[in-house]
Amino acid sequence: MTNLVLTDRDVEILKMVSRVGFLTEKQICTLFYSKHKGFELDMTRARGSLSKRIYQLVAKDLLAKSTIPASGTINRVAYLLGRAGAQVLKDNREIESRNNNNWLSKKSNDILIRSRHDLIATNFLVNLIMLSRRLPEFNLVDWLPDRDCRFYIPGDKKRVSNPDLYLSTWDGGSSTSTLFIEVDRGTLDRKSLRVKIRRSFEYYVSRKYQSDLGETRFPRLCFLAPENERLQMIMQAIRDAKVFFSTPAAKDVMGMPFWLTTFDEADVHSIDRGFISHNPLEDRWTNELGEQAGSPLLP
């Protein structure tokens, strides 16, 4: 293959892949190649052009090809940052992690893709990025993917609060909102769920989020669950964790609100199906008592 001349769009793809960790072809096409008609994604002609370009980027080690393990017989293809791609971003002084400025010299594409859990989180994020581009009343100001969402709790042990996504949104006026998103695949039992929720409480009580995120308010805690039965289990785990953690030093934990919804209600697979979903911004959420709640994404 002759020398490949990188376009501005190529570099933007490398930057997004490096920041998220991985993207599928459909996610790349959605973000950089698709033409939009309302909330539908017209990717028919773009997919062929993108496939050819991805092949060239992989051949030059600008992108690396991997798979996302699936529950069925088909594994989804994912594209990660290749070593040559890491060098391009290093030469352009692009840093994908606010916590590790030397990652490019050490890591490039050595990243763990665990399961469809990661695919769901990334699809949800891509959908929000596209909503932010389409709607003047919804602005996704900042976000951190799973691997950057490791917030250490002060103490003797290395305890950590690790949501799957951190989001910061703005309504275009004076209101902002920050969120921690948990994508639940139903793999944790109730005890493990309580421990995970308690870690969020400990992180809140430490007030360390103020320096980690530069925020005076603690992010809203949100769960995406596969179905309603699992949602009920998470609600009970939240209520149990609040009772267990009810101490004089953390009395305000009892009043901390949660937002929960199912994969279907949040339409977490919309990007795979070729459209941008407005569902995450609608009243399709409940609190830990099962009462309807407005979207936490809107300030």
If one compares 282 and 156, the residue with the highest pLDDT of the two is: 282
pLDDT at 196 over 60: yes
When the pLDDT of each residue in the chain is averaged and rounded to a whole number, the result is: 85
Compute the distance between CA of residue 233 and CA of residue 231 in angstroms, rounded to an integer.
5
Cβ neighbours for 17, distance < 8 A, ≥ 6 positions apart: 23, 28, 63, 79, 80, 81, 85
Tell me how many degrees the CA angle 95-96-97 measures, rounded to the nearest 5: 100
Q: Which CATH architecture has domain 8-106?
A: Orthogonal Bundle (1.10)
Instruction: Map out the domains of the chain as residue ranges.
Output: 8-106, 116-293
Contact 82, 61 (CB under 8 A): yes
Q: Please give the model's pTM, rounded to 2 decimal places.
A: 0.89
Give the tokens for residue 5: 């001349």
**Residue 165, beta-bridge partner list:** 181
pLDDT of residue 45: 65
Q: For 69-120, how does the pLDDT look when each residue is reduced to its tens digit (9 = 90+)?
A: 765 556 678 899 999 999 899 887 765 444 444 444 444 334 445 567 888 9
